[in-house]
Structure 1
Amino acid sequence: MMRIGELARLVGTSTRSLRYYEAQGLLSARRAANGHREYDESDVRLVQEIRSLLAIGFALEETRPFVECLRAGHASGDACPASVEVYRRKLAELDAGITRLCEIRDRLAAQLDTASERTRPCSR
């Protein structure tokens, strides 16, 4: 068993983040007789999963199916259909964002071309 500070150091986050994950129901702390939170290796894996998903742009709530999958005993957080569905939804969001950014870029490039034509120096 480890205390919250040890877990935070081990996974590279703050104790505040761990308490927040707990408040959101993503992490469950056991309490020692003295009231201190205690965690084990399964909690390390849960927090690592949460942090890796956050690092690639997932919202905290989107990590829930992955956490639940790990809690159900699966070796990977994406071994469950609900997790795969989150991947699909996130990929669709990214594709839509990329399409939108490409449209904006094309419009901006066209505006630049038009502006450049208007500001060309006179030829003699």
Structure 2
Amino acid sequence: MKIGDLAAKTGVAPRLLRYYEEVGILHPFRTGNGYRTYGEPAIDRVLQIRELLETGFTTEMIREVLPCLEAAKEETPAPACPTVKDLDGLRHQLSSIERRIDVLQRNRNAIERYLRAWEDALAAAPTAADGIPGPVAE
């Protein structure tokens, strides 16, 4: 697929995809006329890059860790990865991800409880068909 197709499938602008190539975290194939082409695995790679950036990884850290993450998908346990030079930084990022997961889970649980309570209140409330107006939706 061409860069525009990859951009459409991932929601990432072509300019940013070219930047990912420039910093060495995305590797397109080049056709004879110099056009960039990407295989289907590039979709997952771009999405993973976006997720890592959102969790605070720098492009330098992503360049180091991506080969390790790909190897870890294929092997259990994951092999030692010589491309990662800053293990303390990686540990810090892992802690940050774990904190975000905790916050997201707490928020998800609170929203689920709120929705359940609202749905229970709607189900238990008399309706207009009973001659009594029900609760007003916010």
TM-score, normalising length: structure 1: 0.58
CA distance, structure 1, for counterparts of residue 69 and residue 42 of structure 2: 10
1:1-124 pair list within 5 angstroms: 2-70=1-69, 72=71, 74-75=73-74, 79=78, 81-82=80-81, 85=87, 86-91=89-94
Residues 63-97 of structure 1 deviation map (CA, whole Å, 9 limit, x = unaligned): 12332135548359xx55557x4541325679xxx
CA distance, structure 1, for counterparts of residue 49 and residue 12 of structure 2: 11
CA distance, structure 1, for counterparts of residue 65 and residue 28 of structure 2: 18
* % identical equivalent positions: 39
Name the SS of the counterpart of 1:6 in structure 2.
helix
CA contact (8 A) 2:71 2:79 kept: no
- The more displaced of 48-57 and 65-74 is 65-74
CA contact (8 A) 2:72 2:79 kept: no
Q: Please, which runs of 5 or more residues in structure 1 have no aligned partner? A: 95-124
Q: Figure out how many residues of one structure are paired with residues of the other and give that number.
A: 91
CA distance, structure 1, for counterparts of residue 79 and residue 95 of structure 2: 19
- The more displaced of 15-24 and 53-62 is 53-62
CA contact (8 A) 1:8 1:18 kept: yes
CA distance, structure 1, for counterparts of residue 18 and residue 44 of structure 2: 16
* Deviation, structure 1 residue 60: 1.7
Relative to structure 1, the CA distance from residue 72 to residue 89 in structure 2 (aligned partners, 3 Å threshold; closer, same or farther) is same
CA contact (8 A) 1:46 1:70 kept: no
The match for 1:109 is none
